[in-house]
Amino acid sequence: MVAGCNQKTARAPVIEATDAEVLTAADGLKSLSLVFEGGGSRVVNSSSNMGACSACRRQSVALLRVLMLRGPQTAARVAAELRALAPIRRYLVVEGFLDELAAKAPARVVKLPRAPGEREARWAHLLCGEPAA
């Protein structure tokens, strides 16, 4: 898991997580039932349980994963990042899923005000509270 967290290719932001930090994060996710362990032939595998816990569709869970991994993103950038996670690539479809997640109670995402000099507003997840300004 540490190697996966610290991968340097196609990752922004790049992090340098320690074994202890990854273990603490994994234990926290297990305590919230967001991750469960499964037996493997040589190593213990972990699997996401976020869809069941958040009562979100598979596509919405993929959107949340992108926002958690990459931070605030435009809908177009989220659509580009989804290539490996979900079969939705069109900007308008992604925008619809983001609107749906924002309308849930409690809201899972928020559309941030457009920053000066930017063409589009960015979306951020609310799973860890309000995003920093």
Q: How far is residue 108's CA from residue 118's CA, in Å, rounded to a whole number?
A: 23
Chain-centre distance of CA 55, in angstroms? 15
pLDDT for the residue 110: 94
Q: What is the assigned CATH class of domain 55-125? A: mainly alpha
Give the residues of the chain that fall short of pLDDT 50.
Answer: 53
The residues pairing with 6 across neighbouring beta strands, listed in sequence order, are none
- pLDDT given for residue 81 in this prediction: 82
pLDDT at residue 99 in the model: 92
Nearest to 60 by CA among 32, 23, 21, 88: 88
pLDDT at residue 85, as a whole number:
63
Distance CA 41, CA 70 (A): 32
The set of residues, in sequence order, having a beta carbon less than 8 Å from that of 102 and lying 6+ positions away, is 108, 109, 110, 111
Give the start-to-end residue ranges of the domains of the chain.
Answer: 2-48, 55-125
